[in-house]
Chain A
């Protein structure tokens, strides 16, 4: 004991007091961090700002773009109508995709090999065929199936109608976008079901919940947290992908812009109008996504937050548009 105390005292014994006094004084001086900005970064910043200024000036001065047309059409009835069509397409086909995605994921999670193979096949086809091909295929369905009928097998009762009246451009677009997107949603939901530990389901059963109640009140809400971020990314992708519907001329933003510029030849002005609206809606969705994720993550603390993004399916590099 005495020895230890002696050693400790030796360690704290002041060195020659001059140096120590100097350090004591220096301890009060402000600490200067190294300059973070490398001179090269200064230079690059100046170049970028200069380029941006030049670009804005050039664009603003360009009489051929027709800025007055941009202003004129941005809030025109036709464009707003087209925007509404785009939003409708996006919302309805996303709803279809989410519902179908859950069904496909549920089928894929069961033990039946027939159903599992079906889901794999579905995902393979609808994710593999380019969306624009799928849009054209649904739109031209009448070429091979001129009449569509809905009936009870082995009975004479049925409803039928000509394909061209049943499959409107709007419905063709919904089917193409929705079924294509459902293949992605199935994968997202499948990945989301895995991380909820089975023990939580058992705990719910042990307090007297039925299996359905356990899934609804314990598993699904936690699945949502994992599913929401990739799903909102998909929603943004789907919004942009809906512009592809212009190849069959549905009621949507790009089609409307094209109709207008085919008459007044203000091509770039109307593409800018459409772009502005796409950017506005995408920005709103991104803000909404941010708040939704924050709400869903409120029970997560610290480093746990990264777990949900690790578990989310890796969709980078997959371009849902084409």
Chain B
């Protein structure tokens, strides 16, 4: 992907966010282009998850902007003023941005198929039959054709996470945010989720992945961002950052993790 030719799919501009007196994001700038796979790594507590959650407005930033697909997330321009959008409008914007959570967050009272169908049925008013057919196709795609009617409680962690990826895909989003998708999994279940993500990357999906899986990053990511203390400490083509980190902090981190 040639990063310089097109408008970025996601543009994060000078993003700040505090929880109480703790400043978690201290001015983040980031660009993700269509079809790009960006992995964000860094020590825990450095603000990686908050950054992802601010991109689809599960967190409201204190200042700074998130622009996705040319639209400012959460605000609209009135003259020179940025006014907060109505909730239905934010919901429409969110529907373009998929999210996969560390804890899966599947709807406990719905089967795998119903979990995947819920978004399309409730938001786009797609008729149930079409949504059901599409959900079935997606669950087969993530290798769960035998678990269509299982409830989350009876699925393994890896299976739940694959359902949640299918749920995100069902909205046909412009990009998907992955918030430590394998951190809550048993080690032997990590591979099946990474396999699915690898296939999505190969299909050209735009992905923003917060992860500790450097092996996955090395193999799949176009760009690697090293995040530290609420800022982007270093970013660049994945191979370069891993092979020749410029910052001391990045070197330290990679030395500890690898």
* A residues in contact (CB < 8 Å) with B: 196-197, 199-200, 202-211, 213, 217-218, 221-222, 225, 299-301, 304
In whole angstroms, how far apart are the Cα atoms of A199 and B92 in the complex? 19
Chain B: number of interface residues, binned into ranges? 20 to 34
- Evaluate contact between B91 and A209: CB separation under 8 angstroms: yes
**Contacts of B136 on A, CB cut-off 8 Å?**
none
Q: How far is the CB of B135 from chain A (nearest CB, A)?
A: 12
Partner of A301, one of B91, B95, B154: B154
- Evaluate contact between A206 and B94: CB separation under 8 angstroms: yes
Main secondary structure of the interface of A (DSSP, over half): helix
- Evaluate contact between A207 and B119: CB separation under 8 angstroms: yes
Q: Is B153 an interface residue (CB 8 A)?
A: yes
In whole angstroms, how far apart are the Cα atoms of A211 and B108 in the complex? 17
Instruction: Give A225's nearest chain B residue, CB to CB.
Output: B109
Instruction: Give B177's nearest chain A residue, CB to CB.
Output: A206
Told that A207-B167, A209-B91, A213-B122 touch, could you supply 11 new A-B pairs with CB distance under 8 A?
Answer: A199-B101, A200-B106, A202-B99, A206-B98, A206-B101, A207-B170, A208-B91, A208-B94, A217-B118, A301-B153, A301-B154
In whole angstroms, how far apart are the Cα atoms of A209 and B122 in the complex? 7
Q: How far is the CB of B116 from chain A (nearest CB, A)?
A: 9
Q: Is B88 an interface residue (CB 8 A)?
A: yes
Interface string of B187-222 (1 = CB under 8 A from A): 000000000000000000000000000000000000
Q: How far is the CB of A93 from chain B (nearest CB, A)?
A: 29
**Contacts of A299 on B, CB cut-off 8 Å?**
108-111, 151, 153
In whole angstroms, how far apart are the Cα atoms of A211 and B58 in the complex? 11
- Evaluate contact between B168 and A207: CB separation under 8 angstroms: yes
Q: Is B250 an interface residue (CB 8 A)?
A: no
Q: How far is the CB of A184 from chain B (nearest CB, A)?
A: 25
- Evaluate contact between A200 and B151: CB separation under 8 angstroms: no
Q: How far is the CB of A225 from chain B (nearest CB, A)?
A: 7
**Contacts of A300 on B, CB cut-off 8 Å?**
151, 153
- Evaluate contact between A208 and B119: CB separation under 8 angstroms: yes
Instruction: Give A198's nearest chain B residue, CB to CB.
Output: B105
Partner of B108, one of A207, A208, A209, A222: A222
**Contacts of A207 on B, CB cut-off 8 Å?**
94-95, 98, 118-119, 122-123, 167-168, 170-171
- Evaluate contact between B168 and A206: CB separation under 8 angstroms: yes
Q: How far is the CB of A121 from chain B (nearest CB, A)?
A: 31
**Contacts of B106 on A, CB cut-off 8 Å?**
200, 203
Instruction: Give B57's nearest chain A residue, CB to CB.
Output: A205
**Contacts of B99 on A, CB cut-off 8 Å?**
202-203, 206
- Evaluate contact between A200 and B118: CB separation under 8 angstroms: no
- Evaluate contact between B105 and A208: CB separation under 8 angstroms: no
Interface string of B128-171 (1 = CB under 8 A from A): 00000000000000000000000101100000000010011011
Instruction: Give A202's nearest chain B residue, CB to CB.
Output: B58
- Evaluate contact between A218 and B107: CB separation under 8 angstroms: yes
In whole angstroms, how far apart are the Cα atoms of A301 and B151 in the complex? 9
- Evaluate contact between A208 and B153: CB separation under 8 angstroms: no
- A206-B58, A206-B94 known; A222 vs B123 contact (CB < 8 Å): no
**Contacts of A197 on B, CB cut-off 8 Å?**
103, 105
What are the nearest 8 A-B pairs in CB distance?
A: A208-B95, A207-B119, A199-B105, A203-B105, A206-B99, A299-B151, A208-B123, A210-B91
Q: How far is the CB of A171 from chain B (nearest CB, A)?
A: 38
Q: Is B97 an interface residue (CB 8 A)?
A: yes
- Evaluate contact between A208 and B92: CB separation under 8 angstroms: yes
